[in-house]
Amino acid sequence: MPSTRDIRRRIKSVKSTAQITKAMQMVASSKMRKAQLAALAGRPYAVLMNRVILSASQDSQDFVHPLMEKREIRKRGVLAVSTDKGLCGALNSNMAREVMKLDRDTTVFVTAGKKGAQFIARTKRMLAAEFLYKDAPVFAEARAISKKLQEMFLNGEVDCVDVIFTRFVNTLTQRVEVRRLLPIGETQMLLNETSVTSQPKAEQEQRATPEAGGLEHLFEPGAEHVLGAILPHFLNFIVYQVLLEAKASEHSARMVAMKNATDNAKQLIKDLTLEYNKLRQANITKELLEITTAQMALG
C-alpha cells in the first residue's frame, strides 16, 4: 500500500509530463499546418510533371537517356526517409519494417533523417550516404540527395533506386510507401496514389486517357537536350516532394501522439487523485477510530 506522500509525488511527476507533452503537441500542430500546406501545394506540379515525363518517355524510343536505362537488377539502392527525432508514433517503426523486408546483401541505403541512419547502422546494413533535412525542407537539400542517387545509378553502383517514405494522407493517417525512383519511366507509379487522394475526378480521367491518337511528340531542341534537362530536375523535385510529405507526416504523427500522451496523463492524474483522496480519508477514519478507542479505554 503506497503512502499518501508517494501518490502525491506520482501526481506531480505525471503532471509535469503532461505539461511537456502538451507543449510538444502545440509546437507540432503549428508546424504541421505549415508542412501540410507545403506538401499539398507541391502535388499539382508533381502530377503534371509526371504526366509530361510519361508521355515524353513513350515518344522518344530512338533515344534512351542514361537515367531511363533499364538494367537487370543486381544491386538495389534505397532512399529511406525518416524523422530526426522520436516521439512521433509508429512512423519510424513502420519504415523500419519495410526496410527489414529488403535483402541485406544486395541493398545499399541512403538515408534522410537521423532515425533511419541509426536504424540502418544498428542492423548493420550497407549505408552509402546519410543526409539531414530541416524542419522546412529546402530545395537544395533535395538536390543534394538526388544528385547522390543519380551518381550511384549512373556509376552502376546500383541498378535501380527505390524510395521508402511516409506519405501524408491526412492528419490521422500516414502511410509508408515504397516507390521506384530510377530508372525513370517506372517512376510514374510514384505519384499515382497522390492523384487518387487529392486530385479531382476530371483530372484523373484526363490522366487515364493517353494523349489523343498517340501522336509522337516533337522535341525542341531535340530529345536528348530536353530530356537531359527535365529528367534531373524531375528527380530533384520528386525527392523534394518526398521530403515535404515526410515532414508533413512527421508533424501530424507527432501531434497525434502527443495529444494521446496528454490525454493519458490527464486520465492518470484523475485516477491517482481519486486514489489519493480515498487513502487520505481512510487514514483520517483510522486515526479517529484510534482516538475514540483510546478515550474509551481511559474512561
Partner 1 sequence: MANTLKLEIVTPESKVYSEDVDMVTLPGIEGEMGIFPMHVPLMTQLAAGELSVRKGGQEFFLAVGEGFVEITGERVSILTDMAIAAENIDEAKAEEARQRAEARLAEKLDDEEVAMVKATLDHSLAQLRVKRRHR
- Contact positions toward partner 1, by CB under 8 A? 41-42, 44-45, 48-49, 51-52, 55-56, 59, 211-212, 215-221, 225-226, 229-230, 233, 237, 240
- How far apart (Å, rounded) are the C-alpha atoms in residues 215 and 206? 16
Residue 195's H or E segment, with its range, is helix 189-198
The answer to whether residues 169 and 87 touch, using CB atoms and an 8 Å cutoff, is no
Q: How far is the CB of 173 from partner 1 (least distance, A)?
A: 24
The answer to whether residues 35 and 170 touch, using CB atoms and an 8 Å cutoff, is no
Residue position matching grid coordinates 525542407: 137
244 vs 257, which CB is nearer to partner 1? 244
Cα dihedral 130, 69, 185, 102 sign? negative
160-170 and 173-182 strand pairing: antiparallel
Q: How far is the CB of 39 from partner 1 (least distance, A)?
A: 11
- How far apart (Å, rounded) are the C-alpha atoms in residues 294 and 289? 9
Residue 123 φ/ψ, nearest 5 degrees: -90, 10
The answer to whether residues 88 and 254 touch, using CB atoms and an 8 Å cutoff, is yes
99 vs 239, which CB is nearer to partner 1? 239
Q: How far is the CB of 140 from partner 1 (least distance, A)?
A: 8
Q: How far is the CB of 138 from partner 1 (least distance, A)?
A: 11
90 vs 230, which CB is nearer to partner 1? 230
Residue position matching grid coordinates 505519384: 191
Q: How far is the CB of 42 from partner 1 (least distance, A)?
A: 6
Partners of residue 79 on adjacent β-strands = 110, 163
The answer to whether residues 194 and 165 touch, using CB atoms and an 8 Å cutoff, is no
Partners of residue 170 on adjacent β-strands = 173
Q: How far is the CB of 145 from partner 1 (least distance, A)?
A: 14
Q: How far is the CB of 262 from partner 1 (least distance, A)?
A: 34
Closest CA to 51 of 181, 178, 191, 196: 191
10 vs 51, which CB is nearer to partner 1? 51
84 vs 211, which CB is nearer to partner 1? 211
The answer to whether residues 244 and 32 touch, using CB atoms and an 8 Å cutoff, is no
